[in-house]
Amino acid sequence: MITFKAKQLCLFSHCMLRLLPRSKQTILQQVAKRNLSQGLSFPPRMPKETTTKQPLSGTFGVAKPSGPTSMALVNDIKKLVSNSSLFVEESKLQGAKHKRKGKYRRGPVKIGQGGTLDPLADGVLVVAIGKATRDLAEFLNCVKEYETTCLLGCETDSYDSEGAQVRVAPWKHVTREKVEEALQQFRGEITQTPPIFSALKMDGKPLYEYAREGIPLPRPIEARNVTIHSLEVIEWKGSDHSFRWPEKKLSEDQKKALEKALKGVDEQAKVEDSPVSESEHSDVPTAFVLRMQVSGGTYVRSVAHELGHALGSAAHVVTLTRTRQGRFTLRPTEPSDMSCVPWSVFEKALENPGEPDSDGRLEWERDVLEKFEVFDESNKKSKQQKN
């Protein structure tokens, strides 16, 4: 016997059927009769439709804090990803759970980053999971945007505040107008020489080892062609700030070693202080903030270092923020822009992952999916995951 509720469902279904092609009407009518005769509902319940097959491969941006290395953050994220059913096949996930505890080695899923940030630097760090790691080269070569604070009067071996003082130079003659005028020579296509205190290798040996050991460079550091699309002063701090020159200084022996390494390519190279007034030693040196959009391979620290020379002074970087890398950015302005996941999301999950929601997702997984681009292997591009 058909109940009143069943009759209502039949009437509703009849109205809906009229909107469908005749062939589909016949099929659904047969399903309706069968379900109603068995006391089942019509239309039958359908499982939730998923737009993406799991496990997921894709890319997202992380807002890196200043301090830790990029690799340390990626390794921490890998601990979470390797235990997530969103990113790991169930068979591999179960296998990983039965493995002996100990130092984390090879995990059940690939993970990589699209361009290292120095420990001092913060900002956009692009992370790829699974098959999306194949396309990370896209982010190494894309346009990047940085904001950096430069401090005048002191040059360091690393070109930033993490290094040691190499030399000091006058700085009180430098004005905002002089800086803006000097910036003109750095815009467009330029040739840039990487710093000697870098991890780049020459004949299998890192450049910084030549400098520290006083070994002359076998040949000049190879310059690279880069493009600075835009470069401007966005803030003139003057002396109203808390930045100071590094307390650490190169010893006389270290200075001689550095000079000897540099003389391997430039016989006139000297590492010595320029005459500086007493007030320039004691007063708070001038600082200013630059914003730049640059091509892949550009050393922001080198821009600050060379700008100091162009101003008849010395300079080094005290803050460095990557505000954009390709479509990932800290401040989205375009519909296609992708915002970044704060590092605090992962930090919290590492301490306590919490309980899953009704869909079985943890809080950090939901936060990542909101800013996640799913890798589409069929046409080698990514599409934004919609939740």
Q: 28-37, 116-125, 248-257, 310-319: which has the minimum mean pLDDT?
A: 28-37
Range list for CATH 3.30.2350.10 in the chain: 144-325
Predicted TM-score of the model (pTM):
0.79
Q: Which two tokens stand for residue 135?
A: 């396309």
pLDDT in tens, 181-223: 999 999 999 999 888 777 788 998 888 888 778 888 888 888 8
Pick the CATH number of 144-325 from 3.40.50.300, 3.65.10.10, 3.30.2350.10, 1.10.287.370: 3.30.2350.10
Q: Is residue 165 helix, strand or coil?
A: strand
Is 60 exposed, middle or buried, given 0-12, 13-18 or 19+ CB atoms closer than 10 A? buried
Pick the catalytic residue from 118, 135, 273, 376. 118
Helix, strand, coil: what percent of the chain each, to 5? 30, 25, 45
Q: What pLDDT shows up at residue 253?
A: 86
Most confident of 251-265, 271-285, 302-316: 302-316
Q: What pLDDT shows up at residue 97?
A: 54
118 in active site: yes
Q: What pLDDT shows up at residue 170?
A: 97
Residue from 142, 131, 128, 122 nearest 74 by CA: 128
Give the C-alpha separation, 284 to 242, whole Å.
8
Half-sphere exposure of 329 (CA within 13 A, CB side): 18
Which amino acid, one-letter code, is at 386? Answer: K
Q: Output the CA torsion sign for 365, 370, 371, 377.
A: positive
pLDDT in tens, 66-87: 999 999 999 999 999 999 999 9
